[in-house]
Amino acid sequence: MAEQNPQAPILSVRDIKVHFQVSGGGTEWPWTAKKTLKAVDGVSFDLFAGETLGVVGESGCGKSTLSRAIINLVPATSGEIVWMGKDLLKGSARDWHDVRRDIQMIFQDPLASLNPRMTVAQIIAEPLRTHRPELSDKDVMERVRRMMRRVGLTEQQINRYPHEFSGGQCQRIGIARALILEPKLVICDEPVSALDVSIQAQIINLLKELQREMGLALIFIAHDLAVVKHISDRILVMYLGREMELAKKHALYDRPSHPYTRALLSAIPVPDPARERVKVIELLGGDLPSPLNPPSGCVFRTRCPKAEARCGAETPRLKALSEDTQSACLLA
């Protein structure tokens, strides 16, 4: 596992918010009152060179929106995204164009993220054509073939189309496309959720191997906490657009400080029938609140078994509980 760089972070996200104005009544009439959907509502973290930050949480908690805001696929409402000392939200379109050579993304659905009218060679070469126009056709194709070999594809597949590949092979094409520019950061938005378990392991091991070879930093988004544990150095737990806990891997799995984290960890299946039968699962009561009308104070309080009166009056922020753990819980 990559060690955290003790120097300055390559990426600093500070109080990032992504809000959308949506119709409150489900219609698009101009006189219908608008409501604010707080998809991401004040998330902060640092990422160091060679490190993997796992991001977990329920569907709808803002994981994918956060990742897209970092790379400007979704505009951030406010906050700071500081890349290598430069605040990208204050930059120009040209600044974003230059940054995308260093920050790439792997998407959840491998087949949907590939152009069905382009061959494998054209798909992987496209970033080079955009960001490295000085390269000759011969140099581009040589780099494409080399990258295909690194991700486990053969040169005989270079002129095939995406529909001719399996899901795992399509994800390898997406990884090759993301890495062809030799970026410093790759954002992986649930890259294995649509794949079989055996293929998931292959893709995870491939990412770890490429990370060691290229010194990549990764932001790895997933629902499966067992997968996140296998690849991450630190883990950010999100709920309803906010951060609940940020901790090093072993601290989070051995000593979770937030009730929501404990509930997520208790739901992980144990591959031992005897232990699985006696395991205590911390079930959460109630339904997930709407991001259009989140609870006051701590957004998790309506489902928290330990909530007190002050949880509805105070909005908790991440605070350091130890060298390894930060928690956004008033009672931690």
* Token representation of residue 316: 């908790």
Identity of residue 18: V
Residue with more model confidence, 69 or 35: 69
* Residue 286: predicted pLDDT: 79
Of the candidates 257, 297, 318, 316, the residue with the CA atom closest to the CA atom of residue 45: 318
Q: What is the pLDDT of residue 66?
A: 96
pLDDT digits (tens, 9 = 90+) for 50-60: 999 999 998 88
Quote the tokens at residue 273: 């029938």
How far apart (Å, rounded) are the C-alpha atoms in residues 14 and 12?
A: 6
Q: Which is nearest to 219 in space by CA: 46, 59, 82, 84?
A: 46
Whether residue 2 is predicted with pLDDT greater than 50 in this model: the reply is no
Segment 28-38 mean pLDDT: 77
| CB neighbour class for 76 (10 Å; exposed up to 12, middle 13-18, buried from 19) | buried
Q: What is the DSSP letter of 206?
A: H
DSSP state of 312: G
- The 3-state DSSP class for residue 55 equals strand
Do residues 329 and 260 touch, judged by C-beta distance below 8 A? no
Tokens of 33: 């009152």
Return mean pLDDT, the chain.
89
What is the spatial distance between Cα 262 and Cα 244, in angstroms, rounded to a whole number?
11
Helix (H, G, I), strand (E, B) or coil at 320: strand
Sequence-separated (6 or more) residues with CB below 8 Å from residue 41: 17, 19, 62, 240, 241, 242, 294
* 8-state DSSP, 256: -
The predicted model scores a pTM of 0.89
**pLDDT the model gives residue 3:** 47
Q: Give the three-class secondary structure for 315.
A: coil
Distance CA 229, CA 330 (A): 26
Decide if 56 contacts 228 (C-beta within 8 A). Answer: yes
77-112 residue pLDDT tens: 999 999 998 999 888 888 888 888 899 999 888 888
Confidence of residue 29 (pLDDT cuts 50, 70, 90): low
Give the pLDDT score at 25: 55
Which stretch of 209-223, 259-273, 307-321 has the lowest confidence by average pLDDT? 259-273
Per-residue confidence at 1, pLDDT binned at 50, 70, 90? very low
| Spatial contact of 67 and 221, defined as CB atoms under 8 Å apart | yes
Residue 28 has what pLDDT? 60
Mode of pairing for the β-strands spanning 34-47 and 11-23: antiparallel
pLDDT band at 272 (very low <50, low <70, confident <90, very high): confident
